[in-house]
Structure 1
C-alpha cells in the first residue's frame, strides 16, 4: 500500500533499509501467526506484541513496555530518513504520527478486538474517544466528485451525548452532511429505509450510553455490506472482553479507552480498530486495504489527534486485566440491578442482564465473557453485560436530584468505566447540550440516573443507593 502522497525514487541505499525492514515485518507476521494467535485472550492482554526479543534487543531487557518521552526519531543516514518519510519502512519519525509506546498500545488493541477473527486487524491510537469517532468517520465523508447529491450517514440516536453533538453540530450544521438517526436500532427495516446511494456508512453504539440500546450486529453488517458501505461500532461499554463486533461482521470499532478498558481514570485516550480489506463505496487508495494505517499515516498525520506516549503506557497496564475486571464489575452490576428492580422508590431499571429487559435475548446472543468456557472458575460459556446501568427514580426529576445529592460512597461525576462506582444524571450532564427534543428522541428522561458499578463490594454500593433513595423519599436535602 502506498501511503505517501508523493512519488519517491528508491535509491540503492534506501533499498537496503527497505529489505531489512521487510525481513523484520515478515518476522513480526510469523510471530503473530505462529505464536500470538494461539494465545488466550488474557495472555494477549498481558503481553500484546511486546516480546522478550524486543526487550533484550532494543530496550535493555525492560519487561514492561518503556514510555518513549521523545518527540522524534533520529536516523542513521539520509537514505534511512528518505525511506522512513516515504513510509516504505516502519518509522516513528515524529510522535504526532507514531511512537514506540503507542505502537505497542495499538497492537494490543488490534489483537484484542481481533481475537477470534479469521482475518487481520490494525489500530490507530487517538488522544480521546471523541477523536477516535472523528478519525473513524471522517475518511468516509470526503467529497470525491463522483457521487451526486448530499452525503449522508445513518447512526443510532441512542448514543453518547458527545457523539450526538459531533454528528449534529459538527457535521449536519457546520458541514451540511446529513446524519439520519435510527430511533429503534433493533428494527432492521428502519436502518434499511434510511440508506440511499449517497450513504457512506452505518454507525451504531452498543450497549448505548446511557439507555442500554442494542442491535443485531450481524444483520446490520450484512445490510451495510449489501450497499457496499461499512458498519462502524462504538463498543466502549462492552470492551473486547465481552463483545468484539469485528467478529460479527463490523468493519471498524471505536473505543474510548479512557473508560472500561482503562479503568484507573489516569487519563484520556482512544483508538480505532479496523479489519483489513473493509467494505466501502469509496475508491480511495489505502482506505479499504488497511484503514488503521491509512488514518494514522495520512489523515491523522495532518490533523494531529495523537496520543501521548505516557498515556499509552498507562492504558496498556490497565488493559492487562480487562477480562477479570469486566467479569467482576458485570457480576456486581447484576446484583445492583436486581436490587434496584425491586426497590419501591425506583420506577424502572435499564440493564441488559435483566431477563425482563426487552433487548435481553438479543444482547445475550452477543455479550459473552471471553474464554469463560476455558476458565477453571466457569468451564462453560457465560453471559456478561457490563458495568453500566440506568434507572429512573420514582417521583420525577427533583426526586432524582435529591437522591443523587445524597449519595455518599458513589462518586457524582460524568465519568464511566472506573474501578470506582460513578453516577450522573444524563439530562443535566453528558446529554445536556443535546436539548430536550434530542433527549426525547434518544429516550433520556429528566429523572434517569446513569450508574457505572465499580469493583467495590456490591453490598456497599447497594447500601449507599438504599440510604440515598430513602432520604430522597423523605425530601431530605444534603
Structure 2
C-alpha cells in the first residue's frame, strides 16, 4: 500500500481519537478547541489557531491518491465546494456542541445560509415522494413560512400548519402515511413561542419520521434539541453565533441513525454526511472558508455571550412589561410568559451547575423578545422611528441591539392570513438585545414609547 495512503489512514485514526477526547471536555473547552488538537496544529505548521484555507482546491501526490480522495476513501478536501479543512474544524465543533451531554453521536454540514440549510434538509427528506406532506409549527421565520407554503406547494408538497402551543393530539391529527417530517422553531421568531421537543420527538418516532428543530435563537448554550430526542437541528450561523454581524451561513446537525423509515440505512446513519458529500456537492450550497473561520472565532465565547445578552434581555423585558405604553411582552423569562413551565423545562445555561456557579443550575432565556405597543401599526412605526440607540434592521442576535416590525418586514410576504395563523400583529415589535448597558437601552425605549 502507498505510504502516503497509510499516513492518511493514520490521520483518520488520530482524528477519531481527537473527537473522542473532545467529547469528554466541558462546553467552553469544546467551543474553544473543537477537534483542533496538538496533532492538527502540527499538520498546520504549528498554528495554534485553526487556519483559513482560502484556496479553492488542493493538489495530489499521485493519480491513485487523487482517485481515492474523490471517491471519499481517504481524508481529503480536494475542492472547496465539497469540503475544506476550515469547514471541517467548524463542522466538528458544531456537532460536538450540539450533541453535548447527549448519548448519541452527531455530524454537521455547514451551508451558505440558514435558509440554505433548511431547504437542503427539506429537499432531501421530500425528494421522490408523491403526494408528500409535512407538519410544521405555524410560528416560524418568514422565509421558512414562504419556503413551506409557496415553494413546496409549487412542487405539489403540502405543509400542514399547527399552532406551536397546540396539544400533541392536534399534531398527530395532521400525520398520515405520506408525512415525511415534523418541523418546529424553539423558540419561534418573532412570537417567541415554544413547542414541546420531547413530546414531539416521541410522536415523530412513533411514525418513523424525523423531528427537525430550528434552534437558532437558543443556540446549544441554552437548548440542545438532540438531548430531548430531536433528529436534526438547524441553525442560521448569521445570528447569535456570529454576534459581530459579519457572517451569512447556516448549519444542519443530525444525530446518527435519524428516524426516517423512508430513507436508505446508509443515509439515515449519517444524514449530514450524505448531504455534505453528495447533495451539496451537486447543488453547491457551500459555506466559504473565511465565513467558517469567522464563525469558529466567535464560537469560543458563545456561552459567555449568550449569558450576558440573556441577562440584559430579562431586564429590558421586565421594563417593557411595566411600561404604560406597552400592551404585552413575550419573553420566556417573564412570570407572565404563557408557556412559562415549558420554558423552564428547556432553557438552561449550559454547564451552569459547575463550581463557578456554586453547582446551581441557572436559567437563561436568550436575547430575543417581542412586545405589542398600545395602538395600531402606525403607532408601532412611530415608536420604531424614534429609536436613537437601537438600530432599525431585520437582523438579530447582534452585539448591537436591533428592532423591527415583522408584519412589514421579515414576515411581510406571508400576507394577512399567514400572519394571522402565526399570531403576528401589526403593532408587534421584535427586539433583539445585545451587549449595551440595559440602562441606556431602557432610556432609548422609554423616549421612543413616550412620543
Q: Which residue of the partner structure matches residue 72 of structure 2?
A: 87
The answer as to 2:248 corresponding to 1:248 is: no
Q: Deviations over 1:148-203 (max 9, x none)?
A: x510111111000000011111111x201001111244421111000000001111
**Residues 237 and 247 of structure 2 are in contact (CA less than 8 Å); yes or no, is this contact kept in structure 1?**
no
**Residues 425 and 449 of structure 1 are in contact (CA less than 8 Å); yes or no, is this contact kept in structure 2?**
yes
Greater shift in the superposed pair: 315-324 or 24-33: 24-33
Question: SS of 1:45's equivalent?
Answer: helix
Matches within 5 A, 1:271-282: 271-282=251-262
Q: Check 1:23–1:380 CA distance in 2 against 1; reply closer, same or farther (3 A cut).
A: same
Question: SS of 1:265's equivalent?
Answer: coil
Q: Structure 2: how far apart are the matches of 1:218 and 1:184?
A: 14
Question: SS of 1:202's equivalent?
Answer: strand
Greater shift in the superposed pair: 364-373 or 24-33: 24-33
The answer as to 2:4 corresponding to 1:24 is: no
Q: Which residue of the partner structure matches residue 417 of structure 1?
A: 397
Q: Structure 1: how far apart are the matches of 2:406 and 2:41?
A: 45
Question: SS of 1:139's equivalent?
Answer: helix
Q: Check 1:412–1:284 CA distance in 2 against 1; reply closer, same or farther (3 A cut).
A: same
Deviation at 1:382, TM superposition (A): 0.8
Q: Structure 1: state its 5+ residue gaps.
A: 1-11, 472-478
Q: Structure 2: state its 5+ residue gaps.
A: none
- CA RMSD, Structure 1 to Structure 2 (Å): 1.3
The answer as to 2:33 corresponding to 1:47 is: yes
Q: Which residue of the partner structure matches residue 476 of structure 1?
A: none
Q: Which one of the candidate residues 75, 81, 104 is aligned to 1:119?
A: 104
Q: Which residue of the partner structure matches residue 298 of structure 1?
A: 278
Deviation at 1:285, TM superposition (A): 5.1
Q: Structure 2: how far apart are the matches of 1:127 and 1:274?
A: 17
**Residues 185 and 191 of structure 1 are in contact (CA less than 8 Å); yes or no, is this contact kept in structure 2?**
no
Q: Which residue of the partner structure matches residue 4 of structure 1?
A: none
Q: Structure 1: how far apart are the matches of 2:55 and 2:214?
A: 31
Deviation at 1:335, TM superposition (A): 0.4
Q: Which residue of the partner structure matches residue 132 of structure 1?
A: 117
Q: Structure 2: how far apart are the matches of 1:361 and 1:241?
A: 19
Q: Which residue of the partner structure matches residue 162 of structure 1?
A: 143
Deviation at 1:19, TM superposition (A): 4.7
Matches within 5 A, 1:27-38: 27-33=14-20, 35-38=21-24
Q: Structure 1: how far apart are the matches of 2:52 and 2:13?
A: 26
Q: Structure 1: how far apart are the matches of 2:166 and 2:16?
A: 38
The answer as to 2:319 corresponding to 1:339 is: yes
**Residues 17 and 89 of structure 1 are in contact (CA less than 8 Å); yes or no, is this contact kept in structure 2?**
no
Question: SS of 2:233's equivalent?
Answer: strand
Q: Structure 2: how far apart are the matches of 1:410 and 1:385?
A: 20
Deviation at 1:18, TM superposition (A): 5.5
Q: Structure 2: how far apart are the matches of 1:102 and 1:466?
A: 44
Q: Structure 2: how far apart are the matches of 1:375 and 1:207?
A: 29
Question: SS of 2:54's equivalent?
Answer: coil
Deviation at 1:220, TM superposition (A): 0.2
Q: Structure 1: how far apart are the matches of 2:187 and 2:296?
A: 23
**Residues 186 and 214 of structure 1 are in contact (CA less than 8 Å); yes or no, is this contact kept in structure 2?**
no
Q: Structure 2: how far apart are the matches of 1:310 and 1:143?
A: 35
Q: Structure 1: how far apart are the matches of 2:127 and 2:239?
A: 30
Q: Deviations over 1:347-385 (max 9, x none)?
A: 110111111111111011011000001051453111111
Q: Which residue of the partner structure matches residue 7 of structure 1?
A: none
Q: Structure 2: how far apart are the matches of 1:90 and 1:200?
A: 33
Q: Deviations over 1:259-290 (max 9, x none)?
A: 01111101201100010111102232532010
> What TM-score results when the alignment is normalised by the length of structure 2?
0.98
Q: Which residue of the partner structure matches residue 263 of structure 1?
A: 243
**Residues 17 and 83 of structure 1 are in contact (CA less than 8 Å); yes or no, is this contact kept in structure 2?**
no
Matches within 5 A, 1:431-446: 431-446=411-426
Deviation at 1:84, TM superposition (A): 0.7
**Residues 184 and 190 of structure 1 are in contact (CA less than 8 Å); yes or no, is this contact kept in structure 2?**
no
